[in-house]
Chains A and B, each alone.
Chain A
Amino acid sequence: MNSLPFLPVLIPLIGGVIVLLIRQAGLNLQRLLSFLLVLALLAVSVELLHVASQGSPQVYALGNWVAPYGIVLVLDQLSALMIFITAILAVGALWYAISTKMDAQGSHFHVLFQIQLFGLNGAFMTGDVFNLFVFFEVLLLASYGLMLHGGGRLRTKAGLQYVVINLIGSTLFLFAVGALYGVLGTLNIADMANKVALLSSEDQGVVAAAGLLLLLVFGIKAAMFPLYLWLPQAYANASAPVAALFAIMTKVGLYAIIRVHGTVFGDNAQELAFFYTPWLLGLGLITIILAALGVMASRGLREQVAYLVLASVATLLIGIGLNTPAALSASLYYLIHSTLIAGGFFLLADIIARGKGSLEDHFKSGPTMPQAILIGSTFIFAAIAMVGMPPLSGFFGKVLILSSALDNEYFGWILTIVLIASLIMIIAMARSGSVLFYHLQPNVDSTDEPLNKLAYLAVILLFSASIVLVVFAQPITSMTDSIAQQLFNPNHYIDSVFNTPAVGKVSP
C-alpha cells in the first residue's frame, strides 16, 4: 500500500498545527511556513496527478482497516485533478494575502487557510460518505473563520447567513446519510454502489429520496437554483484572497455530485441509474438565467464576479446533467478554467477597488486609477475568459459542452438558454468595464497608493492558466477524456477499493 495518497491531507493538517504553535515567533515566520506548505502541496499534487494517470485508483486504508469496514482514502484521476487545482489556487490566494498584508487584518489567517486546504483535500479523496460529511464540516468551519476574516459590518451580516445555511445543509446531509445507512447498511461509496445494484424494488423509493436529499445538500454547496441566494453576498463581502480560495468551494459540491451520485447511482443501479441527471440539467438551465441577470444587476465588481462564479457553476451543472462521457470531459475542462479564472478575477477586483479609493469596486464614475492601462487590459482579458469569448479557454470549454449537448433531446433549449445568458453577461461586462475605466471624474478623491506589483503577480499566475489551457488544449482534453471514461466505469473504482489488501497481508 502506497502512502502517497495520504500526503495532501497530512501536509496541511500537521502544517496548520505547526503554524498555530509558532504564532509567538511572529507573522513573517508563519507566512514563510504557510507558503512553503502550499508549495509542498503543489509539488505533491503534481506527483499525484502523474501517479493517478497511470491507471488504477490508489487506495489508502486508514488504520489498516480495509473496505468496507474501515474508512478508505481513494486517489483516482478526478481527485488528483481537484487537488492540483486547489493547490494552484491556494498558491495564488496566499501570495496575494501575504503581499497585500491582508493576513494581518485578523488573527490565525494562515492556520485557517491550512485547515481549509486540509478539509478540501480530504473531501476530494475520501471514499466514505460519513467521512465526506466530516471533511465538509472541517472545510466549512475553516471557511467561516476565513469568511469573517478582517471583520466589518457587511461581512458579518453575509457571514451569519452563510453559516446558517450551511448548518442547515449539514443537518440535511446527516438525514440523507442516515436514511442511506438504514437501507443499505454501509457508508463506503463503493460498497453502497454494490448494495444499490442488488436493491429490492420496495426499498428503491427510500434510497431515491435519500439520494435526492443528498443532491440538495451538494446543491447548497454548489449554489444550485433555488439554493444559490447565499453565494453572491458571501463571496462579494469576503476579503479578496478568501473569495479567491472560495472559488473552489462551489466545485466541492459539484465534485461530490460526480463522485457520490455518479458512483452509487451509476449504470448498475437498476431503475435508479442516473435518476438525478434531469434535475441537474433543468436546475442548471434555470441557474444560468438567474446568474446572467445577477451579473447584469450587480452594483459592484465583486458582486458581479460572484454571479459569474454562479454562471460557471450553472454551466457545469448542465454539463454534468447531459450525462455523456464527452459532456463530462468538457465539464472538467471548463471546471479547471472557471475555478482558476474566477479566483484570479476576485483578486483583480480587489486591485481595482484599491485603485479606485473610496469608491471601492462600485460601478460609478470615479478617479483614474494608477496603472489604469495595465489593469484595464487585465480586466478585458479576465472578462473575455470568464464569459467565454474566443480566443481564451472559456470559449473552448463552452464550445465543448455545447457540442456535446447536440445529442441531447433538449439541445435547442440548452443552446438557446446558454447562448442568451452568455450574451447578457458579455453586455454586462462591457458596461462595467467602460464604467470602471472610461467614465472618469478627475475631481473625485483619488488614491495615492501605487499598484502593488507583487500582488498583481498572483493575478497573472492565475490568469496564465487560461493561456495554458488553450495552448495545451489537446493533452488536457485527452486527460479529461480519460477521467470521464474512468468515471463512467465505476466498477474499476469499486474493484480497486475492495481489492486493496491490508498491509502485511497477501492479496486474495
Chain B
Amino acid sequence: MELLIAIVIGVLTASGVFLTLRARTFPVVLGLTLLAYAVNVFLFAMGRLTIGLPAVINPAQGGYTDPLPQALVLTAIVIAFGMTAFLIVLALKSRSELGNDHVDGLHLAPDEVPYDKKATVKSQQPNKEASHG
C-alpha cells in the first residue's frame, strides 16, 4: 500500500508541475489543483498508513490512527478549494481584461499599447483611462 500511495503522489506531483509550467491559465489552474491533491495525500500518508483503526485511542482496538494529519488535510482542502475558486475567477478576469489567456500576458491584445509608448499615446487621448475606471 505504501508503494501505491507513493506512486500516486509522485504521478500527481509530476503532472501538476508539468501543467503549472504551461503558458495558458487553464492548464496552470489544473496543475495547481493536482499539486493540491498530491500534497493532501502526502500529508495523510505522513501520519503513517493504517487500515481499520479509529482516530481516537480505544483500548479495545489495540491501536489508533494519527488524527492530526487528518485535521491538517481537512484544513488544507478547504484552503486549496477557496484559493482555486479565487484563481479561476481571476483567470477569467484577466482573460477579459488582457484579451488573451496567457499567464505572462506577453501577447498583446489588438488594441493594447506597449509600456514605453503608453505615455505619448495617452497624452493624445486624455479621457481613455477614465472610461476604463
A129 to chain B, nearest CB (A): 10
B2 to chain A, nearest CB (A): 12
In the bound assembly, the distance between CA atoms of A152 and B93 in angstroms comes to 10
Which of A77-85, A169-177, A405-413, A450-458 participates in binding chain B?
A: A169-177
Secondary structure dominating the interface of A:
helix
Chain A positions 165-217 with a Cβ under 8 Å from a chain B Cβ: 167-168, 170-171, 174-175, 177-179, 181-182, 187
Interface string of A120-159 (1 = CB under 8 A from B): 0000000000100010010001001000100111001101
Q: Are B87 and A164 in contact (CB under 8 A)?
A: yes
In the bound assembly, the distance between CA atoms of A177 and B39 in angstroms comes to 10
Q: Are A160 and B119 in contact (CB under 8 A)?
A: no
At the interface, yes or no: A445 with Cβ under 8 Å from chain B?
A: yes
Report, as a range, how many residues of chain B touch the other chain: 35 or more
Q: Within 8 Å CB of B38, what residues of A?
A: 171
Q: Are B79 and A360 in contact (CB under 8 A)?
A: no
Known pairs A156-B93, A167-B87, A170-B83; A358 contacts B28 (CB<8 A)? no
The 7 closest A-B pairs by CB, nearest first: A182-B46, A157-B105, A178-B43, A178-B46, A174-B39, A358-B123, A171-B35
Known pairs A168-B32, A171-B35, A171-B39; A299 contacts B82 (CB<8 A)? no
Q: How many A-B residue pairs have CB under 8 A?
A: 100
In the bound assembly, the distance between CA atoms of A367 and B47 in angstroms comes to 65
At the interface, yes or no: A163 with Cβ under 8 Å from chain B?
A: yes
Q: Within 8 Å CB of B72, what residues of A?
A: 130, 177-178, 181
At the interface, yes or no: A362 with Cβ under 8 Å from chain B?
A: yes
Known pairs A148-B90, A160-B103, A174-B39; A358 contacts B119 (CB<8 A)? yes
Q: Are B28 and A164 in contact (CB under 8 A)?
A: yes
Report, as a range, how many residues of chain A touch the other chain: 35 or more
Q: Within 8 Å CB of A163, what residues of B?
A: 86-87, 90
Chain B positions 63-110 with a Cβ under 8 Å from a chain A Cβ: 68-69, 72, 75-76, 79, 82-83, 86-87, 90-91, 93-94, 97-98, 103-105
Q: Are B98 and A157 in contact (CB under 8 A)?
A: yes
Q: Within 8 Å CB of B36, what residues of A?
A: 171
B50 to chain A, nearest CB (A): 14
Known pairs A148-B90, A159-B90, A160-B94; A362 contacts B119 (CB<8 A)? yes
In this complex, what residue of B is CB-closest to A136?
B79
In the bound assembly, the distance between CA atoms of A462 and B28 in angstroms comes to 39
A interface, CB within 8 angstroms of B: 130, 134, 137, 141, 144, 148, 151-153, 156-157, 159-161, 163-164, 167-168, 170-171, 174-175, 177-179, 181-182, 187, 299, 358-360, 362, 364, 444-445
Q: Are A153 and B112 in contact (CB under 8 A)?
A: yes
What are 14 of the A-B contact pairs (CB < 8 Å)?
A: A156-B94, A157-B98, A157-B105, A159-B90, A160-B25, A160-B105, A163-B90, A168-B35, A177-B43, A178-B43, A179-B46, A181-B46, A358-B126, A445-B126
A210 to chain B, nearest CB (A): 10
A400 to chain B, nearest CB (A): 39
At the interface, yes or no: B42 with Cβ under 8 Å from chain A?
A: yes
A67 to chain B, nearest CB (A): 14
Q: Within 8 Å CB of B45, what residues of A?
A: 182
Q: Within 8 Å CB of B98, what residues of A?
A: 153, 156-157
Q: Within 8 Å CB of B103, what residues of A?
A: 160-161, 164
In the bound assembly, the distance between CA atoms of A152 and B96 in angstroms comes to 11
Q: Are B90 and A141 in contact (CB under 8 A)?
A: no
B43 to chain A, nearest CB (A): 4
In the bound assembly, the distance between CA atoms of A161 and B102 in angstroms comes to 11
CB contact between B83 and one of A167, A182, A187, A359 (< 8 Å): that residue: A167
